[in-house]
Amino acid sequence: MKHTITIFALFVLSSTQAQENIDTIFYDASWSKTDIKENIKYYRLATKTEKGFEIVDYYVNGGVHSTGSMSTLDSNFRIGNFKFFNKKGTLESEGNYHQNLKDGLWKTYHDDGKIKWEMNFKEGKLEGKLFSYYSTGIKKREDNYKMDSLIAGECFSKEGENVDYYKFETMPEFPGGDDSLMRYLMYNVKYPSYALENDIQGTVLVRFVVLENGEVTAVEVAKSIDSSIDNEALRVVRLMPKWAPGKQDGEFVPVYFDVPVKFTLVD
């Protein structure tokens, strides 16, 4: 039934496209353009305007993901107000972009519509107050930023009492840190014989998700060099041990991560 509904929805969109000059673009899980059917996770309808494009992004199985405006579709250059929704259709966050950078007040919401985060941006950097709230409405944190640098901050319990401060965001980390990651790649990557024989070298950019439990998943090539080299980079990344997972406002969250894997021939 889901398959039939999806096909019908795309048929209707195709008919509308002919009438309103709407472009349809398909994306994979990391928002890279794709024409491979099984990789499609989102699709975009873009309507031409005087200033650029009005866009509506959809989850491939139905429901709006986001709405907003772009000056060009080639570089996803965001302008003006954007709204983002979860798969249940509930508003997750909203705010303004100026020259493709977050600008002004951005709000993020709990599932019930109550405010979760309020943060201010200037030219894409945190500037001024950042507030966080429990679902009960009680303040969870109050931070003060200057050009992305934390000036001062406080964290609070669900009862409103001060607790030890913790960072708003913590990125995932390979066991032992960046140096250990470099050593892991150095000792585990094997130069493919085809690439050696044909003098192929370069840097493959591998993109993946570090889950809440630290597992590495959804591994894919974001920047390709050659299939032999690409496949070796994918193999090594897929064999990685668990990472220390990322955190956001004290909670473990899945995080997209990019790792460059360099293949160099030495005379």
Q: Provide the residue ranges of all domains of the chain, joining segments of one domain with +.
A: 1-89, 107-166, 178-263
Roughly what angle, to the nearest 10 degrees, separates helices 178-188 and 227-238? Answer: 130
The amino acid at residue 49 is: T
Kindly report the average pLDDT of the chain as a whole number. 89
**What distances in angstroms separate CA 99 from CA 31, 79, 80, 146, 199, one per listed residue?**
20, 6, 9, 20, 41
pLDDT for residue 7: 32
pLDDT above 60 (res 20)? no
Copy the structure tokens of residue 165: 């401060």
The answer to whether the predicted template modeling score (pTM) of the entire model surpasses 0.85 is: no
Instruction: Indicate the CATH number of 178-263 among 3.30.1150.10, 2.60.120.620, 3.30.1540.20, 1.10.3720.10.
Output: 3.30.1150.10
Please report the pLDDT score of residue 132 as a whole number. Answer: 98
pLDDT of amino acid 4: 29
Residue 148: pLDDT over 50: yes
Average pLDDT over residues 102-121: 96
Residue 12: pLDDT band (50, 70, 90) is very low
pLDDT in tens, 72-92: 887 778 999 999 999 999 999
pLDDT digits (tens, 9 = 90+) for 216-243: 999 999 899 999 999 999 999 999 999 9
Question: What stretch of H or E contains 208?
Answer: strand 202-210
State CA 145 to chain mean position distance: 23
* Residues making up the chain, counted from first to last: 267
Higher pLDDT among residues 51 and 138, named by residue: 138
